[in-house]
Amino acid sequence: MKFTKMQGCGNDYVYVNGFTEKVNQDEKPDLVRKLSDRHFGIGGDGVIFVNPSDVADFEMEMFNADGTRAEMCGNGIRCVAKFVYDKGLTDETGITIVSAGKIKYLDLTVEGKENGNRGTVSKVRVNMGNPILKAAEVPVVSDNETVVDEEILVEGKAYKMTCVSMGNPHAVVFMQDVAHMDLEAIGPKFENHVRFPKRVNTEFVEILDRNTVFMRVWERGTGETLACGTGCCATAVACVLNGLTENQVTVKLLGGELLIEWDRENNLVYMTGPATTVFEGEV
């Protein structure tokens, strides 16, 4: 099976062309676990199959490293856009990609088109759609309709969280000295907390100024990753809801930076960031 290793801000996945590589659905979870293993496989935060679609230009079928399905990945979907353009599956710089039934609209920045060259994608802007704030739809267990700056007890310690879904559930926690926190210890406790019926991705965020934040993320089914696109979107929304930043925020991550804008008038979140091919191979 041929594959392409790609990353967006260090959030790395193994990409498989579902047009040409045929894998039985019931075999995919085990295959994903093997391919994602950084010691015995290719290594990545998961595997993404790029498939044909009847409702969009392409389908992104995403799996976490533990073999579970995931609804959306902001860094992953940018890399899918680069994958389909760079490999000649499309000539368009405005495309649609569906993941778990939700369609996203992407604008591709292509470099190197001079002298008759097609060029390659360097950056992608994604319309990530409406942030979901209703607690039952995130989902998060709460007596309130929305969860904004609400207390949660984790291992006997009280934290304040704001919960947002960007197609997948996020809990955003604001705190100081995020760089030195023991994420390996606290991340799994949030992920599997009883208040999150579908588990949760948790962002630990430090406000740097009105336009800049630093974030570390614990992703369900994977662990700490160098970046999380949907997590950055959820973080920007949470920042605005708590009055901590402006509507446009640069999110600094261990793997790079993403620019997030929440268009409050139309209730749409836009994410702009890089997409990079690391290497290709056959397994």
Say if residue 83 is in the same domain as residue 146.
no
CA separation for the pair 83, 17 (Å, rounded): 9
Per-residue pLDDT at 236 = 98
| φ, ψ of residue 180 in degrees (nearest 5) | -105, 10
Say if residue 108 is in the same domain as residue 165.
no
Per-residue pLDDT at 232 = 98
Active site residue 239: no
Say if residue 109 is in the same domain as residue 227.
no
Say if residue 56 is in the same domain as residue 84.
yes
The structural domain count of the chain equals: 2
Active site residue 228: yes
Per-residue pLDDT at 119 = 97
Say if residue 48 is in the same domain as residue 97.
yes
Query: pLDDT, tens digit, for every residue of 245-274?
Result: 999 999 999 999 999 999 999 999 999 999
Say if residue 119 is in the same domain as residue 210.
no
Band (116; pLDDT cuts 50, 70, 90): confident
Say if residue 153 is in the same domain as residue 207.
yes
Task: Give pTM, 2 decimals.
Answer: 0.93
Say if residue 262 is in the same domain as residue 139.
yes
Which residue segment(s) compose the domain that 115 sits in? Answer: 2-128+273-282
What b/e sequence results for 112-139 when a residue is b if at least 16 CB atoms lie within 10 Å of its CB, and e otherwise?
eeeeeeeebbebbbbbbbebbbebeebb
- What CATH code is carried by the domain that includes residue 28? 3.10.310.10
Catalytic residue among 73, 79, 163, 232: 73
Report which DSSP code applies to 281. Answer: E
CA separation for the pair 7, 5 (Å, rounded): 7
Say if residue 212 is in the same domain as residue 252.
yes
- Continuous segment of H or E residues that includes residue 185: helix 183-191
Say if residue 55 is in the same domain as residue 72.
yes
Catalytic residue among 9, 79, 163, 228: 228
Say if residue 24 is in the same domain as residue 58.
yes
Say if residue 93 is in the same domain as residue 6.
yes
Per-residue pLDDT at 114 = 86
Report which DSSP code applies to 43. Answer: -
